[in-house]
Structure formats: C-alpha cells, structure tokens
Amino acid sequence: MRVCVLSGGIGGARFTEGLRSTLGPDDQITVVANTADDIWLFGLKICPDLDTVMYTLGGGIDDERRWGRAHETWNAKEELLAYGVQPDWFGLGDRDLATHLVRTQMLSAGYGLSDVTRALCRRWDTGVELLAMSDDRVETHVLVDDDESDSGQRAIHFQEYWVRLRASVPVRGVVVVGLESATAGPGVVDEIEQSDLVVVAPSNPIVSVGPIVGVAEIREALRRTTAPVVGVSPIVGGAAVRGMADQLLSGLGVEVSAAGVGRHYGARDRGGLLDAWLVDSGDEAEVATLREAGVEAHARPLLMSDDALTTALAADTLEVGLALRDRPRP
C-alpha cells in the first residue's frame, strides 16, 4: 500500500510514526511536508517542518519539546546573543546547526531542497520518503497590528509571530509569499496520484496544510487523484492539541473546532479537500454538523498521547480511507 501524508511539523510527524508502526515493510509512506515555515537566519536555511519530520522519524527528536534535537546544547546561540546579532528568539541548537549547515551548503552548490532533504534523510533512516512540498521559496507572513506603521499593520515572518510573539497578538491576515508561482516539489504530484490513500495530517490548517494544498499543481493533483483524501482534525474539544493555533484560526474566521476546520477544508465532491474527516470521539456531536456541510465525518480517539494511541489513530485513518477506496465512486 502507498500512503501519502500532507504534513506540518509536530502533529504530522507524530501521526506518521503511528502510520509506520501500523503498516508493514512492503507498504510505502511518503510525507509531503510544508516548507512555508522555512526561514533564513544567520545565513542558514532552516526548514522547521521538514526537520521535525526527519528528526522524529529518524529518532533524533527531543522527546520533550517535540522539535529540535535530543541531547541538544545551545552554545552557538548563546554566542550569537553575546555578539548582539538578531534575531535572538529562534531556537538554534548546536546539533541542529549541522543540519542547517549541510542544507545551506548544498543549496548554495545548486541542489534543490528536495535533493538536499533526500541527502539529509540518508543519515536518519526514517523509513519513509520525505518530500518538500516545493523547491521554490515560499514563506508565510502574518499581518499584525503596528501603530507605528502608516497602514496600521505590518507583515512579519510566521516564525516571528509563532516563536517570538508566541501567537499572542491578533492576526489580521496571512500572506504566503511565493505560493502562487510555486511549483510542486519533484515527486509530489506523482505520489498524490499514485497513492492508495492521501492523509491530511493533524497539522495547522492555515500555516501548515494551507500552503501545501495552496500549491496549484498539488491542489490539482488532489482533485485528480483516485486515492481517497482523509483528514485528521488538529482541534480536539475546541482547542488545538498542540501549539497555539486557536488565535490564528479565529483571527482568520475559522471556527476553532473540529467542525470549523473540517468546513474550512470542505468536501472534495463540493470542490474542497476532504473525502472524510476524523474528529475526536469527544467531538462526536460535530459529526452531524459536518455532514450537513457535506463533509463525511467519523469520530475516533484522536489524542496521540502514547505510541499505542498514535498507532491506533493511524490504523483508524487507514480503515476509513480504505473503506472509501473500496466504495464505488459516484
């Protein structure tokens, strides 16, 4: 079986761990990761979502933070602070730095981000194929209030909003710079078309999944593919399972609920993304609301609190997806 996961960072990486556990050695998992969180800092190309997936599946992730490297030290960062160089808010660990150095040097040598990602992954033995959604530069910027600006607003990089401001200020808009002209990363369209199932991971719908499905070639492939597209809600009980998505969503008019995100994605047979949407068992009451909006929803336990629950969620997702696949399409 071939499964293609559209993923942001933490939630998608964790979900894919479950998928890897529940699938066998002959199955094939491809993760298409968001690259719109990427940022250039200190002359280095940093790809938070690609790295979170790579480190998580490669066993190198810090299990507490769920981002960055295990056994990390922060001496280079401390020194950068001592030099007074900005920004001072990004978590750049010493071990992590090596990844960015190799990546940046390969990019400078003319390799594409997909080639670089493949080269980095050789070390990590992730058991999946990790693809960049695009080799083109795509960057999510967030519009926030700024009294000192003539327009009353300014655009900041998503990382600044997320890491420095900890998503604590109102979001007036999101602009994904470069998205309109971005082409899909090598292999992405083929994978979506040839997979048996496409999973929209429990990732942020605006800044993680949004940019991936915003790439025109990917959007078209998702419309075209015969594979069912099954999404897993990142919202459980009316709040983001991890991270600080609540404010970002509500600021953009997306209701912070499993139903809200499901409606935001929309039903595939009505021009949206999803053939089916998994909401948490505790949100079962939302299933009916979703069905009214044309989104086929299923209630399952979504919390990936331990490995067994994570594997069970992946198995549930496969089950829902394969049932759709076996069902004759209208």
Query: Does 78 engage in binding with its own copies (CB under 8 A)?
Result: yes
Query: Is the distance from CB of 269 to CB of 290 less than 8 angstroms?
Result: no
State which residue, 81 or 239, has the beta carbon closest to its own copies. Answer: 81
With contacts defined by CB under 8 A, name the span among 102-110, 168-176, 191-199, 225-233 that binds its own copies: 102-110
Considering the complex, what minimum distance in angstroms separates the CB of residue 308 from its own copies?
Answer: 30
Query: Does 84 engage in binding with its own copies (CB under 8 A)?
Result: yes
Query: Does 95 engage in binding with its own copies (CB under 8 A)?
Result: yes
With contacts defined by CB under 8 A, name the span among 12-20, 41-49, 207-215, 221-229 that binds its own copies: 41-49
Considering the complex, what minimum distance in angstroms separates the CB of residue 99 from its own copies?
Answer: 7
Closest by Cα among 91, 29, 87 to 57: 29
Tokens 């399952």 belong to which residue? 300
State which residue, 61 or 230, has the beta carbon closest to its own copies. Answer: 61
- Dihedral of alpha carbons 259, 263, 265, 268, sign: positive
Q: What's the 3-state SS for 208-258?
A: HHHHHHHCHHHHHHHHHCCCCEEEECCEECCEECCCCHHHHHHHCCCCCCH
State which residue, 121 or 274, has the beta carbon closest to its own copies. Answer: 121
State which residue, 102 or 293, has the beta carbon closest to its own copies. Answer: 102
Interface positions, 119-148, toward its own copies (CB under 8 A): 120, 123
Alpha carbons 260 and 287: distance in angstroms, whole number: 11
With contacts defined by CB under 8 A, name the span among 65-73, 179-187, 237-245, 259-267 that binds its own copies: 65-73
Considering the complex, what minimum distance in angstroms separates the CB of residue 329 from its own copies?
Answer: 45
Name residue 144's beta-bridge partners. 154
Query: Does 325 engage in binding with its own copies (CB under 8 A)?
Result: no
Query: Does 86 engage in binding with its own copies (CB under 8 A)?
Result: no
Alpha carbons 124 and 58: distance in angstroms, whole number: 5
- Choice from 25, 43, 271, 330 touching its own copies (CB under 8 A): 43
With contacts defined by CB under 8 A, name the span among 27-35, 83-91, 235-243, 274-282 that binds its own copies: 83-91
Considering the complex, what minimum distance in angstroms separates the CB of residue 80 from its own copies?
Answer: 5
**CA geometry: angle 34, 37, 39, nearest 5 deg:** 130
Alpha carbons 27 and 23: distance in angstroms, whole number: 6
* Number of residues near its own copies (by CB under 8 A): 30
- Dihedral of alpha carbons 308, 312, 314, 318, sign: positive
Closest by Cα among 323, 219, 316 to 273: 219
| Single-letter amino acid code for the residue at 113 | L
Query: Is the distance from CB of 203 to CB of 209 less than 8 angstroms?
Result: yes
State which residue, 80 or 279, has the beta carbon closest to its own copies. Answer: 80
Residues lying near its own copies in the complex (CB under 8 A) are found at: 42-44, 69, 71-73, 75-80, 82-85, 93-95, 97-99, 101-102, 104-105, 108, 120, 123
